[in-house]
Structure 1
Amino acid sequence: MRLLPTVLSLFAASLSVSAAAELSEPVKAMIDAAIESGNPDTVRTVIGLARQTNPDDAAEIDVLLAAYNEEQAKIAAEAEAAKIEAVRTAGLFENWDGKGELGAFRATGNSSNTGLTASLGLTRQGIDWRHKLRGRADYQRSNGKTTREQYFFAYEPNYQISDRVFLYGLAQYERDRFQGFSGRYAVSGGVGYQIIKQADLQLSAKIGPAYRVTDFNNGQSESRIAGLLGVDFDWDITDRLKLTHDTNAVAETGGSATVIVDSSNTSVNLVTGLNAKVSDKVTARFSYAIEYDSNPPKGAVKTDTLSRATLIYDF
């Protein structure tokens, strides 16, 4: 008979502990409401407060948090898989992002004037591939006479080998008769490396052989084997302010000893810009460009500069 009171006492104590371990309905309702809000910060804040104010129920609260994290991870994985599948099955004309730019410029060098500038850039980001199309036009007429006429177009595909290493290709066309050529065509391919890869700071470099053909204003044409070096720098100073710098240098060597000695040419294009975000779609940009040819056509100077003030629209 002495055993019965002991068993009853232990059973009562067990019921008491179980009751104490159960999370109260108001606290559980508060956690459920936070989860239904869909805001992860709210969920973690509410669960943190619940754990502080209900230390005896910490184990049950941790179970709810673990279940929430597991569900969120599953949702994220499904969304990422759907995104990847959409990219893989996208058509040729799908998944392009674009930027249109319009503004004014100030040029010095082979021409000294102020005029209008316009450009268009398109980017298509795939799983391993990225395609970039760029086009720009600067044009001005004064007193019925063209005083500035420069056109530029480039297509650059990139293939990502690893997190930092990529292969690039480049096909480029330029026209600037004030610099002495009616057309300049270049093709290149090589390897690139992402030197710095952070959320707010990126620096990459690329290098490879190139082949360039130049058609001069006087009707002559020449082709050369070249080497290309490129540097791309982007720094998000703040959420709305961004500094960019792009460098492309092409060093030519002729196909014979005579051309190497007498006709070598190095062209350098430096562009530094400051972007200020006006809205989600519109950005104001000021840029300064230096274009240098070490061996320009007769009558042309080696260095041109171009200052641009533009508005960029993302679409």
Structure 2
Amino acid sequence: MRAVLDVAMSEGDQATVEKVFGYALHARPEAAPAIEALRNAYRARLIASREQKQAETNARLARSDPFVNWSGQVEFGGSLATGATSSLGLLGAVDVERKGIDWSHKLAIRGELQDTNGARSVERLTAAWQPRYAVSGRTYVFGLTQYEHDPGLGYDNRYSAGIGAGVKLKTPDGIQIGLEGGPAFRQTDTGDTQRSALAGRASADLNWPLNPRMTLEQKASAYYEDGFANGLFASSLNTRVSEKVKLKLSYEYRYESERTRASTGSTTRASLVFGL
């Protein structure tokens, strides 16, 4: 039995090792004290190893330049329609993140263009930067600055700056959920008018691994200010083609409302995502 346990521990897969210890306790209850002592020693070695690796990582991050240790993805997509209505759409997006000891930074830039029957029907640009400070393993506080340009939904330029708090949750089957909320200050330029106001912001993200090669993602965010509101709901199915390449099928729904009117828009597309 000891030989079997030694082989399992040498393989390094913790879930398998814990199962083998469970089988050993069931098969040899008379040796339970010795088996438990061996399991406790194994767990102690794992904790020490993780702490050492974390210390080495923290030391490397503390010495690193601010322009290194970034990771993320680049996305390219498009759409083409012919017939009674002809259209051509293009999408480009960059999402990168730098994780530090306590601070992390997320930077997202996204641009979309679409011509329908020879006329520009979509012209959208979004850029956002979010610095985060980890309060605990699950919770954090953040700042947010964002720029948006979308004449199709009624505004030329919109600037947002806010603060807030967030929490990250994970279920036993690997589903990751992120929730954020906080106040923001917004300035919107419609071309004819300009307004500035305080607003509330909330967002929810879900990442669901369906299998080792396929992941479902849901993202929802909304702003509300006196008499005005806007929101985004995005759903995507990501299929891993290789270690660095994914095929992404996505649907987006946008909502923009004022006191007397509301406008919406939706987009369905396929795109390729390249990991950095």
- With the shorter chain as reference, the TM-score category is 0.7 to 0.9
Number of the residue aligned with 1:136:
110
2:170 maps to amino acid: K
1:198 pairs, out of 171, 183, 207, with 171
2:233 pairs, out of 270, 293, 304, with 270
Number of the residue aligned with 2:132:
158
Where 1:102 maps in the other structure, the secondary structure is: strand
| Structure-1 separation of matches of 2:86 and 2:39 | 66
Number of residues of Structure 1 aligned to a counterpart in Structure 2: 272
| Structure-1 separation of matches of 2:202 and 2:37 | 55
Number of the residue aligned with 1:148:
122
1:290 maps to amino acid: Y
Matched, 1:281 2:255: no
1:294 maps to amino acid: S
| Structure-2 separation of matches of 1:252 and 1:72 | 50
1:224 pairs, out of 185, 189, 197, with 197
Number of the residue aligned with 2:265:
304
Where 1:276 maps in the other structure, the secondary structure is: strand
As a proportion of its length, which structure holds more helix? 1
* TM-score for both structures, normalised by structure 2: 0.80
Q: Which runs of 5+ in 2 are unaligned?
A: 23-32
CA gap of 1:267–1:142, structure 2 versus 1, over 3 A, is closer
| Structure-2 separation of matches of 1:143 and 1:182 | 22
CA-to-partner distance for each residue in 1:157-188, whole Å, 9 max, x for gaps? 12221233221211111111222211111111
| Structure-1 separation of matches of 2:87 and 2:55 | 53
2:273 maps to amino acid: I
Contact 1:179 1:296 in 2 (8 A): no
Contact 1:106 1:308 in 2 (8 A): no
Where 1:178 maps in the other structure, the secondary structure is: helix
Contact 2:153 2:256 in 1 (8 A): no
| Structure-2 separation of matches of 1:249 and 1:154 | 15
| Structure-1 separation of matches of 2:7 and 2:120 | 68
| Structure-1 separation of matches of 2:179 and 2:35 | 50
* TM-score for both structures, normalised by structure 1: 0.71
Contact 1:113 1:147 in 2 (8 A): no
Where 1:237 maps in the other structure, the secondary structure is: strand
Q: Which runs of 5+ in 1 are unaligned?
A: 1-27, 49-58, 254-263
CA-to-partner distance for each residue in 1:26-53, whole Å, 9 max, x for gaps? xx999999998888899999999xxxxx
Q: Which has the larger radius of gyration?
A: 1
1:173 pairs, out of 116, 133, 147, with 147
| Structure-2 separation of matches of 1:43 and 1:75 | 16
As a proportion of its length, which structure holds more strand? 2
What's the Cα RMSD here? Answer: 3.8
Number of the residue aligned with 2:58:
84
Where 1:118 maps in the other structure, the secondary structure is: strand
Higher relative contact order (CA 8 A, sep 6+): 1
Contact 1:134 1:153 in 2 (8 A): yes
Number of the residue aligned with 1:214:
188
Q: State the identity %.
A: 32
Contact 2:229 2:256 in 1 (8 A): yes
